[in-house]
Chain A
């Protein structure tokens, strides 16, 4: 075949390639931002020059026999030329920074190779002697019909799988330099893989790479499953947090209602006081004022205080837990004091573990005073010098066998209990920085959890 003939054939082949690249780029990066006529001309020009230059290079390679280089050196070189062309083409199309364009280029290259290899599965395994007319026809059929069809199939696949969305997400993450270098080595690496496949093939239809590929697939399935699970958990956590916020708002609204009621009472009281002041009855005024302050403390003051303390807990999960437990206590008529003097931002303990631990301590305290007269629970969260102390103190009614508290299956509350504190210890075992303290003092049972950092 003459140089010109090969060039013409290449022009057609590379047109298909260029169209595939442009089309998939749109799938991947998104529609080309339309700027003006000049931009459109520039894109067209780039596309055409891409086809012409690559066809020329391809023809030169073919004619000089560079495809016969060892280890497919010519092929790799051509791939780099092709990638460079694609890179420039994408630059003209999207005017994005080189890094981002490189990523897309390599991906397109991989997609192209995939389509091409897919077609190869169906094509006969042989070298064509292009000087022979029947062989040339066969070659050109695969080159001009089968490969474009395969490429269309790949494009459809990418479209259906929604790869573009994933790609844009990935790109936004701004991958590091290592990733770019790895990706730009793709032509060499793929060749090495190919060599590896060839070399590792054993005589009895057995290739260890098959196992590796299968492993990869399984790994991907795992990753997918894990991601799905994480996603589900995230949603669950968000829902819990939303619920807790709703409770918080409900509480605030309740507080506001009380305030309104108190304001009403307060006005009445002021009116009464005014009359007494006119009559000069100092003693009654004094008792009135006392009554009023006591009333305020009773009606609104304690709630405001509780909310003030809660506001100092800056860790949403823990705040939510306390809110929930405080509500439960209110419903069960358990009197409870919460103290958070300084803002609490968090500890080294994972939030889920911390919530579990605190939940166990609170539940235990609640169970002990439930339904008893005069029972009280004091909760303290104190952040000092980088460490935090959680302290739950409750009135003690039963006298526990102190040495056995916290061993599995021991509980003052009967059979099949006592899992709580044992669990608590187990969770804390994971954390070097957490020190549990238990004490009985002056009729109270005290559980402390001290966390440094």
Chain B
């Protein structure tokens, strides 16, 4: 059962949201329950801390007279519940959803003001959450997590081609199917962390063995599945040939 939390400083809107959510959960037969409906972020945080587990959060952005705004509240929630679903219910003018999604992995936003639109938004969110939960149960994909300054990015391991140490020290460039990420790290540490699936074929390259398409023995180059190329050192040639056989 997923607990649902609401934090909204306007009492009328708060109870409207609660009523609608409860009705919707009942009608759709969802495995959720509204456990807290409050105007105070501290109260909500206490409840989250006590429950330990994944939750659904409907948060207002502007919390008048409170010690934190919706954004900071989201940050605090993320510390306690890294996989919960955060939805922002906000006035149009406060909206900064890209930022919210970027830093808090917020699921969606709902613009308040027009009740019908708000209800439609809530309905949509509940649907997305249910789908997401189903999907997650099915797939068993392993991810590589990398911290880029203040955010952590998760890249499916099977989409990574190789890691390259750029000219500068401690800087590593991840070459993925859909991503190119510069981050600070050590290629030796990565080699240890990623284990068997990756091979250090060159001083500057750590390659995903599953993504190798071809070896160019003459130029000592590896052609990856996505068309990218990287080098391998002479002494790795035999090992590479053996592993790929």
A residues adjacent to B (C-beta < 8 A): 290, 293-294, 297, 301-302, 304-305, 308-309, 337, 339-341, 378, 380, 382, 384-385, 387, 389, 391, 393, 401-406, 429, 432, 435-441, 450, 452
Number of interface residues of B (CB under 8 A): 35
A452–B151 alpha-carbon span in the complex (Å): 12
CB within 8 Å for A385 and B150 given contacts A293-B113, A380-B98, A402-B226: yes
A246–B98 alpha-carbon span in the complex (Å): 29
Residues of A within 8 A of B178 (CB): 402, 439-441
Separation in Å of the A239 CB from the closest CB of chain B?
Answer: 33
Contact call B179/A389, Cβ cutoff below 8 A:
no
Residues of A within 8 A of B181 (CB): 435, 437-439
A sample of 12 more A-B contacts (CB under 8 A), given A293-B114, A391-B102, A435-B182, is A305-B93, A337-B98, A380-B98, A380-B102, A382-B99, A387-B150, A393-B98, A402-B180, A437-B182, A439-B179, A450-B148, A452-B149
Q: Could you tell me the dominant secondary structure of chain B's interface residues?
A: mixed
Contact call A403/B182, Cβ cutoff below 8 A:
no
Contact call B180/A437, Cβ cutoff below 8 A:
yes
Separation in Å of the A301 CB from the closest CB of chain B?
Answer: 5
Residues of B within 8 A of A382 (CB): 99, 102-103
CB within 8 Å for A339 and B99 given contacts A308-B93, A432-B168: yes
Residues of B within 8 A of A304 (CB): 93
Residues of A within 8 A of B149 (CB): 387, 389, 435, 450, 452
Residues of B within 8 A of A293 (CB): 113-114
Contact call A341/B99, Cβ cutoff below 8 A:
yes
A405–B226 alpha-carbon span in the complex (Å): 13
B residues adjacent to A (C-beta < 8 A): 71, 92-93, 95-99, 102-103, 113-114, 116, 148-151, 153, 161, 167-168, 171, 175, 177-184, 224, 226-228
Which of A337, A341, A389, A402 touches B177 (beta carbons < 8 Å)?
Answer: A402
Contact call B98/A339, Cβ cutoff below 8 A:
yes
Residues of A within 8 A of B92 (CB): 297, 301-302, 305
Contact call A403/B183, Cβ cutoff below 8 A:
no
A304–B181 alpha-carbon span in the complex (Å): 35
- In this complex, the member of B102, B103, B114, B179 whose beta carbon has the largest number of chain A beta carbons within 10 angstroms is B102
Task: Tell me the nearest residue of chain A to B75, going by C-beta.
Answer: A384
A406–B166 alpha-carbon span in the complex (Å): 15
Contact call B228/A305, Cβ cutoff below 8 A:
no
A305–B161 alpha-carbon span in the complex (Å): 41
A309–B99 alpha-carbon span in the complex (Å): 12
Residues of A within 8 A of B114 (CB): 290, 293-294
Which of B71, B103, B161, B179 touches A437 (beta carbons < 8 Å)?
Answer: B179
Which of A341, A385, A391, A405 touches B180 (beta carbons < 8 Å)?
Answer: A405
- In this complex, the member of A401, A436, A450 whose beta carbon has the largest number of chain B beta carbons within 10 angstroms is A450
